[in-house]
Amino acid sequence: MRRVVSVWFPAFPTDRLRQPESPREDAGPRIVVAGRTVMAVDAAAAGLGLRPGMKLAQAQVLVPGLSVHDADPAGDAAALSRLAEWCLRYAPLTAADPPDGLWIDVTGSAHLRGGEVRLLRDLVSRLNDLGWTAHAAAADTPAVAHAVARFGGGGSVPAGADAMADFPIEALRLPAGVLAGLRLMGFERVGPLAAAPRSPLVRRFGTIVALRLDQAAGRVPEPIVPAVPRTLIQARLTFVEPLLTAEAFSTVIVRLTGTVCGDLEQAGLGARRLDLLFERVDGSVQAIRIGTVRPVRDVRHLGRMLDERLDQVDPGPGVEAMRLIVARAEQAGFTQIASPLTQDAPPGLASLVDRLTNRLGETRIYRIAPVESDVPERSERRVSPLSGTGGDWPADWPRPVRLLNPPQPIEAMALLPDRPPAAFTWRRVRHRVRHADGPERIAGEWWKRDREWTSVRDYFRVEDEDGRRFWLFRRGNGSDADTGDMRWFLHGVF
């Protein structure tokens, strides 16, 4: 299932004026004009009642001292292209959508960012941090994503959903003359227009209306021409006859990875992210992406990971060219993989971690590192799977392998102030305690939060009659109500 993200910059020309590469001394409301007509306004100007399309003289009367800048289409196009290249971190297929948008084909890539919702949230947040006002939407087709980003507030549109029926006809990206003609015919929304007979529309407006409606419904494909920076290491092969099988693709992958890894070795670099583009006969492009946790230029390892992703490729009518791009590279020295004394190289985890990461996503593979904190939920953090832990785990009081977040309330019977429970009920199941050890008292970290100044937890390691071991705690010291409400919780399972 194809998934496309559309990014819209509602104030792109004025936002560009605030970028570091385009410093301006004025800091007030700004507008961009073409001739004597306002083309774009920033948030401050919009708040004062200015809007695109109004006359410059009217805007200057409404806002004295307004900062006026001439339109720079060439500069806007160059900035949009740079943003398209910047978005390559999210997916291998990105492209500019002039004059104020971007395309990102995230098919097969969203899971590497934790899903579409997290990808969109991260994308918009990063763009905002860079000074760009942005809205983003993901949908099955570029047309729907484009419309939802501009008229629906953004977000992820479920597969197969009819999201455009209530949108105005401007959401179809039709020329101004066609829009005016459709309004004269009584069409205001996309839904009634899509349900109308096609023949009268084609006779009056040509094929543009039918084409846009079919693109929105997914009946006509809308290819995205990817942005490929020329400065990146890459290799491309074209074919006399279109390729259709995974076996043929694997043969080409061997040649492409050999060429790319040779270029990486000459540059002293290793690949951290590779994009493989499949240029189909119908003009569309399929793509797969792999990443590595360390710089790599091993032909076999990179080829194997690319082969594992071939099931995501739809060759359609055939693939006429394949391009392998090193989207991210880092310095990599030379490593001795074997010696006369040790004929076999020592086993490493890097290859395994790379393959698991590309199957499951970056957020699913990690290592737990200790943190200097007595509070259990703060005593660990996730780090890169191949990084060092950066500390030692405490050896005096064992901790359970699995912590419940948040701790789950239980019903327990215990003598106060410091006796372990004789029995407890968790998830409607009663457990009679056979052995217990504790209490281990953990005080709150008052230097982090004032409300933890008097908080106390008493932890017990208990074993029930069936041999199952649990980690329980009582909130409070068992005698002073100010230290806690004396309720019991299950925090972990050994």
Q: Is the model's pLDDT at 26 over the cut of 60?
A: no
The neighbouring-strand residues paired with 190 are none
- The pLDDT of residue 30 is 86
**Same domain for 313 and 438?**
no
Domain end, chosen from 287, 305, 331, is at 331
- The pLDDT of residue 345 is 46
Residue 42 backbone zone (phi > 0: left; psi -120 to 50: alpha; other: beta): beta
Give the range among 15-24, 47-56, 253-262, 302-311 with minimum mean pLDDT.
Answer: 15-24
**Same domain for 132 and 35?**
yes
- The pLDDT of residue 247 is 93
Residue 379 within a domain: no
Residue 389 within a domain: no
pLDDT band at 434 (very low <50, low <70, confident <90, very high): very high
Closest-CA residue to 228 (of 101, 106, 93): 93
**Same domain for 474 and 416?**
yes
Domain end, chosen from 156, 185, 203, is at 156
Give percent of the chain above pLDDT 70.
Answer: 93
- For residue 10, give the CATH number of its domain: 3.40.1170.60
Q: Which residue has the higher pLDDT, 39 or 26?
A: 39
**Maximum CA pair distance of the chain?**
88
Distance CA 321, CA 214 (A): 27
Across all residues in the chain, what is the average pLDDT? Answer: 87
**Which residue range is the domain that position 316 belongs to?**
234-331
- The pLDDT of residue 405 is 84
Q: Is the model's pLDDT at 373 over the cut of 90?
A: no
Residue 145 within a domain: yes
Distance CA 290, CA 270 (A): 13
Distance CA 85, CA 142 (A): 18
- The pLDDT of residue 159 is 83
User: Residue 253, SS3?
Assistant: helix
**Same domain for 10 and 123?**
yes
**Same domain for 276 and 324?**
yes
**Same domain for 72 and 18?**
yes
Distance CA 408, CA 466 (A): 21
Amino acid at 421: P
**Same domain for 34 and 138?**
yes
Q: Is the model's pLDDT at 101 over the cut of 50?
A: yes
Tokens standing for 70?
A: 């001439």
User: Residue 157, SS3?
Assistant: coil
Q: Which residue has the higher pLDDT, 433 or 480?
A: 433
Give the range among 15-19, 188-192, 207-211, 487-491 with minimum mean pLDDT.
Answer: 15-19
Domain count, the chain: 4
Q: Is the model's pLDDT at 221 over the cut of 70?
A: yes
Q: Is the model's pLDDT at 363 over the cut of 80?
A: no
Q: Is the model's pLDDT at 431 over the cut of 90?
A: yes
Distance CA 234, CA 419 (A): 68
Residue 382 within a domain: no
Assess contact for 99 and 76: CB atoms under 8 A.
yes
- The pLDDT of residue 429 is 93
- The pLDDT of residue 391 is 66
**Same domain for 147 and 177?**
no
Neighbours of 181 (CB within 10 A): 16
Per-residue pLDDT averaged across 113-141, rounded? 91
309-347 residue pLDDT tens: 898 888 989 999 999 999 888 888 665 555 555 545 445
Give the range among 160-174, 217-231, 232-246, 316-330 with minimum mean pLDDT.
Answer: 217-231
Per-residue pLDDT averaged across 136-143, rounded? 93
- The pLDDT of residue 5 is 94
Closest-CA residue to 128 (of 18, 5, 6): 18
- The pLDDT of residue 150 is 93
388-419 residue pLDDT tens: 666 676 666 677 878 888 899 999 988 888 89
436-460 residue pLDDT tens: 998 988 888 888 777 777 889 999 9
232-273 residue pLDDT tens: 899 999 999 999 999 999 999 999 999 999 999 998 999 988
Give percent of the chain above pLDDT 90.
Answer: 46
Give the range among 152-166, 258-272, 458-472 with minimum mean pLDDT.
Answer: 152-166
Per-residue pLDDT averaged across 191-212, rounded? 92
- The pLDDT of residue 398 is 75
**Same domain for 175 and 152?**
no
Q: How far is CA 28 from CA 12, 40, 65, 68, 473, in A?
A: 17, 15, 9, 10, 57
**Same domain for 285 and 318?**
yes
The whole-angstrom distance between residue 126's C-alpha and the CA centroid of its chain comes to 11
Neighbours of 377 (CB within 10 A): 12
- The pLDDT of residue 103 is 94
- For residue 238, give the CATH number of its domain: 3.30.1490.100
3-state helix, strand, coil in the chain (%, to 5): 30, 30, 40
**Same domain for 31 and 90?**
yes
**Same domain for 63 and 21?**
yes
Residue 424 within a domain: yes
Per-residue pLDDT averaged across 165-184, rounded? 93
Phi, psi of 301 (to 5 degrees): -65, -50
Per-residue pLDDT averaged across 358-376, rounded? 79
Closest-CA residue to 297 (of 268, 322, 275, 324): 268
DSSP structure string for 172-191: G---HHHHHHHHHTT--BHH
Tokens standing for 235?
A: 């290799």
Assess contact for 140 and 157: CB atoms under 8 A.
yes
Residue 353 within a domain: no
Sign of CA dihedral 62, 68, 72, 77: negative
